[in-house]
Copies of this chain bind each other. A is one copy, B any other.
Amino acid sequence: MIQVAIMGHGVVGSGVCSILTTHKKKLYSAIGEEVYIKRILDLREFPDSPLADRFTKEFNDILTDVEIRVVAEVMGGIHPAYEFTAQLLKSGKSVVTSNKELVATHGAELLAIAKENNANYLFEASVGGGIPILRPMNQCLVANNVHEVAGILNGTTNFILTKMIDDGMEFDDALKLAQELGFAERNPAADVEGHDACRKICILASLASGKHVYPKGIHTEGITNISLNDVKYASSFNSVIKLIGDVKFLENGKLDIFVAPMIVNRHSQLANIDNEFNGIMVRGDCTDDVVFYGKGAGSLPTASAVVADIIDCCKHLKARKYLFWADSNNENVLPYNESVTAVYLRFSTNDKEASIAEVKDLFGDIVQLSITNESENEFAVVTKAMTIGEINDKLNQVKKSKLLSNIRIADL
């Protein structure tokens, strides 16, 4: 019998309890031993839970219990999850988590503490919820030099964009619907402004490069400025708008990493990932594109990834897993100004002909897009590829029209 503890009894934590309880036979056959939930840490009371006798409000009940070998941290947030995790790892217990904020912010340090103490720190659930991604990247794709990882990493924003694309809903209405259906939080900032996706692409970039990439300073754009007209112009370009977390590993050793809405050709596998689903594309030099698709959030999908990590820890109580990356200070991150891309630009103007001529003059070869019922006072173009710095320089010189939208064209 292997004794475990769960810290947090919210959406994911209650899912972990549920799977450990209802899938006993399945788990036993995977490990060859029973997994026993000894303690559940939560400040709230759960008197009606069948596990009511296991609840505690005292972290020390877990930390000092030598019988507890593996702890699932599913509290979320940085504090006190960070302090608790560090202490548990120092005491030689393995910790598994779905806490992307903590991994993205303190992953290198916690991995180092785990290594020093011959414990495991695993976090498959932190990216892509129930979608297997970190372990496949670390194990199955290990013979590849990974050139790029790009993904739809946030289900809330993908749901909103899908409603805008498929049903012609405005952003605000789609957000409201997402909130009603439980796909968006009451305060949706972390999702719609791209911060959640940024944490996840940083974790993927850290794993692929072997060096921690911190979210701080990474260019992060959300979808709050996307309008229905942008969706329509994209459609005329045989494309859809998706919020993409992207990291390219350049030949000079730099990481071109950002989160931004992108115009994605309908032929891309990522274009077909709709609603609350996530999809992650890994481009390896041997495999070419490999894509992982599934539910990126939700109680049971996320909890099933947490439980898979618990099982892995139970199997490796003595041997450490090889998941590890070193610390860094983001010194390899390419300044966003140097990132190269074609862009879609939408302008308002009082003199369309003169404005288009000006844009053409500044940007050189452009493709003008057109939609039905196009306003006389609006136009949209797609430029050739150049650096963000050059694009911004040229945009500063635009006199005859006003920039409404500026969206990267994806090469995915």
Taking Cβ atoms with an 8 Å cutoff, the residues of A that contact B are 15, 19, 23, 26-27, 29-30, 124, 130-132, 135-136, 139-145, 210, 269, 272, 284-295, 300-301, 303-305, 307-308, 311-312, 315, 319, 322
Task: Tell me the nearest residue of chain B to A286, going by C-beta.
Answer: B304
Known: A131-B290, A135-B136, A286-B301. A311 touches B30 (CB 8 A): no
- Count identical subunits in the complex: 2
A288 contacts across to B, CB distance below 8 A: 130, 294-295, 301
Which of A26, A143, A145, A210 counts the most chain B CB atoms within 10 A?
Answer: A143
Q: Flag if A143 contacts B319 (CB, 8 Å).
A: no
Do residues A287 and B295 form an inter-chain contact, with CB atoms below 8 A?
Answer: yes
Shortest beta-carbon contacts, A-B, top 7: A132-B140, A286-B304, A143-B307, A130-B287, A132-B136, A290-B294, A291-B293
Task: Decide if A287 touches B293 in the complex (CB within 8 Å).
Answer: no
Least CB separation from A294: chain B residue: B290
Contact A132 B286 (CB under 8 A): no
A286 engages B272 (CB within 8 Å): no
> Is the pair A315, B322 in contact by a Cβ cutoff of 8 Å?
yes
Q: A135-B135, A311-B142 are in contact. Are A287 and B291 (CB under 8 A)?
A: no
A294 touches B291 (CB 8 A): yes
Residues of B within 8 A of A292 (CB): 290-293
> Residues of B contacting A144 with CB < 8 Å?
23, 26, 304
Known: A141-B308, A143-B19, A145-B26. A132 touches B132 (CB 8 A): yes
A286 contact set on B, CB distance < 8 A: 15, 19, 130, 300-301, 303-304
Contact at A284–B272, with CB atoms within 8 Å? Answer: no
Contacts of A143 in B (CB 8 A): 19, 23, 26-27, 303-305, 307-308, 311
Inter-chain contacts of A294 with B (CB < 8 A): 287-291
In angstroms, how far is the closest chain B Cβ from the Cβ of A285?
8
With A and B bound together, what is the CA distance between A311 and B138 in angstroms? Answer: 11
Contacts of A284 in B (CB 8 A): 130, 304
Please, which residues of chain B bring their CB within 8 A of the CB of A26? 142-145
Nearest CB on B from A321, distance (A):
10
Docked Cα-Cα span, A202 to B287, in Å, equals 24
| A113 vs chain B, min Cβ distance (A) | 20
Closest to A300 in B: B286
Residues of B within 8 A of A293 (CB): 269, 289-293
Chain B's nearest CB lies how many Å from the CB of A66? Answer: 24
Question: What CA separation (Å) do A284 and B302 show in the bound complex?
Answer: 12
Q: Which residues of B contact A15 (CB under 8 A)?
A: 286
A136 touches B145 (CB 8 A): no
